[in-house]
Structure 1
Amino acid sequence: MRQGNKIIQVFEHELLQVGEQFQQKHLKAFSKLNALHNDMYFDLRYNGIKFKNFVGVIQVDGLTVEILPKIDAAETNEVLWQSVLIEMLKTTRKLKVQKVGNVNVSRQNIHLLDIYFEWFLNELELLIHNGLIKQYYKQTMNVKALKGKLEFAGHLRKNLIHKECFYTTHQIYDKDHLIHRILSKALYIIEDFTKGTYLYSRCKSVRLDFPEVKEIKVDKTTFSRVKKGRKTAPYATALEIARLIILNYAPNISAGDEKMLALLFDMNSLWEEYVLAKLKQEASSLENVEVYGQQSREFWQGITIRPDIVVKKDDEYFVIDTKWKNIQNFNPSTQDLRQMYVYNDYWKSVQAMLLYPSTESRAPEFKPFVGEKHYCAVGLLNIIEDGKLKGDLGKEIMDWYV
C-alpha cells in the first residue's frame, strides 16, 4: 500500500483502514457506495474496508483511492501493476489513449481518473477544433411570432394578458442539443473533481470554447435517446467516456457535501476480455483459426451455458475458461472440472483448459475425462516480462493448442 499527496494505492483483496488520509468520512462514503451496489465492491471491516476483485479508482472529497490487480499475495510494486491495469484497459478498449499524463506532472501522481479525464478533454478539444454540429430539436415556449404548432391550452393559460405572444412547439436548429448537454454535464463533473490539479485550467479553457447549453439531468435513459448517424459519429468516443463518468458519479453520497466518482472493473471480466482480445489478434495471422467470445448454447429449459472463449481450428473446437486468481496446489475445483466437461460435450471440443495468471508459465498437460475421448488441463500463464505486461500472450496460448 502506498499513500501520498491525497492518493492511496492498494491491491485487490487488501485491507484499508482508517488513518491519516483515509478518514471516517471517507469510510462512510465508501460504505454507502457499496450499499448502492449490493455490497459487491468490498467487505466492511472494523474501521476499514477489505477490497474484493474489483479494480479501478474511487475519488471522494479530494482523496483518490486506486485499486490495482495482483497475482501474488506478497505483491508490492504499485507502478508495475498500475501499468498492467492501464494496458489491459487499453487492449479491451475500455481506455483508448496513446500516452499518459503531462510532461510537467510526476508519473507517480497520475491515476486512472486523471487518464480518463484527460482522454475526455482531448476528445472535446478535437470536436471543437473540427467544428461542433448543430441539430434540430423541439422547444415549447412563448414567442412573439406564430411559428410551429400552437399549443392551444397552454396559450390560453399563459397569454390571457400578453395577447402579443404565442405559446408554440417549434423546431430549433443550433448547438444547444442533447449530445452537447450530456458532454457539458460530464465536463462540469470533471471540472469539479480536478480543482487544484494540472487539469483544472484545461477544463476551464475547454469550457470557454464550448457552447452554453441547458443543464439537464442525465441517466441511463438519456443516452438511449441520442440519435446515431453520420454527423454524430465523431462524438461516439466522447459520449462513451461521458457515460462512464456521469453514470458512476454519486453526488452527496455521504453525510456532508462530499461528491464521489467511482470507476471500477471486475478483474475476472477484464482478464477474460484481455485474453480474448490477444487471442483474436493472434488468430488474425493464422489460417483456418477463429476465436469466439460470449458464445452461448441452450442447456436446459431456456437456461444457457457459455464458456469464456472458444477456439476453432479447421473443424476442431477448443474451450478456454479464464480465472483471475492464484490457483492453490495446481488443482482446480470439482465444480470447475464439471463445467469444463459440459463445455467439451456441448461444443464437441477436443480439449478444454482452465487458464490462470502466474509469475511462471506452465504449459497445460491435457488429461482425458474418465471414459471419454476429450481432455482437460490447467494452464499457468506468466503475464509479466521485462517489468511490464507481456505482449505476446495470445501466441503463447495458441501454441498450446494449434
Structure 2
Amino acid sequence: MKQLRIRDNAVVPQSTFCEISGITQKIANKTLKQLEREGIFVFPEQIDESDDLAAEQMILQGVNDCYYSGNVMGFLGYGNERLVITSRFADGETDYFLQYLLNRVMGYPNVVDLMTDADQDNALFHLLVFLFPRYLKAAMRKGIYKTYVQRDYNDSNVKGVIDVAQHITRNTPFVGTVAYHQREYSYDNALMELVRHTIEYIKTKAFGRKLLAAVRDEVALVVNATLAYQPYHRVKIVADNRNDPVRHAYYREYRALQRLCLLILQHEQHQIGSGSRQIFGLLFDGAWLWEEYIHSLLGDRFYHPMNKRGIGAQWLFSPRNGLIYPDFVSRNHMQRVIADAKYKPMQNIGNRDFLQMLAYMFRFDAKKGIFCYPETGQAGILHFQLNKGSTYENNVAAREDICVEKHGLKIPSKASCYESFVAEMKKQEQVFINAMQGIAT
C-alpha cells in the first residue's frame, strides 16, 4: 500500500505526490462539494454546520508547482493509495491531537490510534461507526422519516391497482383473492429499513451495544417502525437507497444519515474504496473541532452562538442588518468579554481577525477581546492595548480601558503514548481554564 502523510494548511511540492498520483488526480482542484458527491464524508456537513468550511474549499489546490492543503484533517483513499492529513499542531508522525479533539468533542473512545493503525481502512470504518449515534440523534429530532411506498397485496379487499401478471400467476385457478398494489404513506420505508440494517450490523460488533446505548430511545423507535425488516433484504435496501437519495431540504439530517449508513454497510460488502466507487474518505473540519473543544472548556460562563444553525443570531445594526455570530460572548454583561477560537498559529492571527474582534467588542460594549489558539511553543498571553489619537496630530497613545489578548493553549509535544498526551493536556487545560475564569468572572 502506498501512503503519504501531509499536514493541514501546508504547502507541499507536487513532486511529493508522485507515489499517490491516482488519488491526487481524483481530489486535486476539486471542491468539497464535488468530492462529497463522489463519496468523501465531511464532518460536520459543511453547508449546514461549519462556519469555517465552504463548499468551494479544496482539499488540495494546485498553485504553480505546489499543492496547498486546506483546513481539514482525516483519511482519503483510492485503490491501494492512502492520503492521511494530520493536524499542523501534531507532534511528529502520530497525531494524538486530532484523536484527543475527537474524543472531547464527539465522544470517540480510544479504540484506535487514528494515524498509526496499520489497516487504515479499518481505522476509517471505526470512525464511521462511531459517528452513527450522533447522526441518528440529529435526524430523529425531525421525527421518524415517513414517505410513500408501494405495497403488494393478494386478498379479496381490493383497494389499489390490480397487478394482472401477479394475479394470473398466484390466483389461477381463481380462489377469491386478487393481486394488487397500493401506494401508502408509511414509516416502514427504504430509508428507515437502511437505518435498521445499520443498527443490526453495529450490534454484531464487540463495542456495538455499548455504542448504541447512548441512543437507546432512537433505536427503539427505528425498530418499532420497521416491522418488515428481514436480514436477507440488506442488498436490496442498500441498492434502493443508493438509487433514491433523500432530496428534500427539510430532511437534510436524514440525507447525512443515509450517506453514513451506506458507507458503513458497503464496507462489509466490499472493502471501502473498492467496487464501483473507488474513492473514499472521512474528513474533519479542524476549525470546527477546535471551536467546539474550546466551548467544552469555557463551560457556562459564555454564550456560544452558532452560525448556519441560526442559533444566537446577533445584528450589528437596527433594523436587523449586519448579521454576526461571535464565537463566544461572556454572560457577565457588566464586564463583557468576547472570545474567538482560532485554529491557527499565534503569528497568523492578524489584521482581519483584529478588525472582526473590534467590531464584536464595539457591538457588545466589551472592553476585552480574547483569541484562543493552539500553541506548540511556549504558551502565554500576549496583550494589546487599543490606540487612540492619530499620527497626523502626533498624539498616538495606548488606551488603558480597551485591550485584545491572545491566549495560547499549550499542545504537548514529545508524548510517548496517547495516555501520556492526555495527562499533559489535562494540565494545560486547567491552566487555560483558570486564566479564562479570572477574566470572565
Q: Same fold (TM over 0.5)?
A: yes
Does the 8 Å CA contact 2:84/2:115 hold for their aligned counterparts?
no
In structure 1, distance between residues paired with 2:71 and 2:251: 33
Sequence identity percentage: 15
Distance 1:276-1:76 versus aligned 2 partners, 3 A rule: closer
In structure 1, distance between residues paired with 2:147 and 2:191: 9
Query: What is the CA-CA distance between 1:20 and the residue it aligns to?
Result: 8.6
1:78 paired to 2:93:
yes
Picking from 103, 118, 126, the partner of 1:115 is: 126
More helix by share: 2
Distance 1:166-1:69 versus aligned 2 partners, 3 A rule: same
Match of 2:247 in 1: 221
Query: What is the CA-CA distance between 1:168 and the residue it aligns to?
Result: 3.0
Deviation string for 1:270-291 (max 9, x for gaps)?
22221112211xx4xxxxx344
Deviation string for 1:101-148 (max 9, x for gaps)?
39xx9954265514314537999xxxxxxxxxx99986424432145x
Match of 1:62 in 2: 80
Query: What is the CA-CA distance between 1:310 and the residue it aligns to?
Result: 1.6
In structure 2, distance between residues paired with 1:186 and 1:47: 46
Match of 1:143 in 2: 153
TM-score by length of 2: 0.60
Q: Secondary structure at 1:29's aligned position in 2?
A: helix
Picking from 100, 110, 124, the partner of 1:87 is: 100
1:51 paired to 2:69:
yes
Distance 1:160-1:274 versus aligned 2 partners, 3 A rule: closer
**Gap regions ≥5 residues in structure 1:** 124-133, 189-208, 229-237, 284-288
Picking from 334, 337, 351, the partner of 2:368 is: 351
The one-letter amino acid of 1:59's match is G
Distance 1:175-1:47 versus aligned 2 partners, 3 A rule: farther
Deviation string for 1:304-351 (max 9, x for gaps)?
1121112223633211112222233xx853332222222112112131
1:26 paired to 2:64:
no
Deviation string for 1:250-298 (max 9, x for gaps)?
xxxx9x9551222222222222221112211xx4xxxxx3443434311
Distance 1:341-1:395 versus aligned 2 partners, 3 A rule: same
Picking from 379, 389, 393, the partner of 2:407 is: 379
The one-letter amino acid of 1:89's match is L
In structure 1, distance between residues paired with 2:165 and 2:200: 36
1:279 paired to 2:298:
yes
Aligned Cα RMSD in Å? 4.6
Q: How many pairs are equivalent?
A: 333
Query: What is the CA-CA distance between 1:43 and the residue it aligns to?
Result: 0.9
**Gap regions ≥5 residues in structure 2:** 35-54, 135-143, 172-176, 202-229, 268-272, 307-311, 390-398, 416-420
Alignment of 1:303-314 (within 5 A): 303-313=322-332
Match of 1:201 in 2: none
The one-letter amino acid of 1:88's match is L
1:395 paired to 2:433:
yes
Match of 2:111 in 1: 100
In structure 2, distance between residues paired with 1:141 and 1:244: 24
Picking from 6, 14, 22, the partner of 1:10 is: 6
Q: Secondary structure at 2:287's aligned position in 1?
A: helix
Q: Secondary structure at 1:144's aligned position in 2?
A: strand
Distance 1:27-1:385 versus aligned 2 partners, 3 A rule: closer
Does the 8 Å CA contact 2:164/2:179 hold for their aligned counterparts?
no
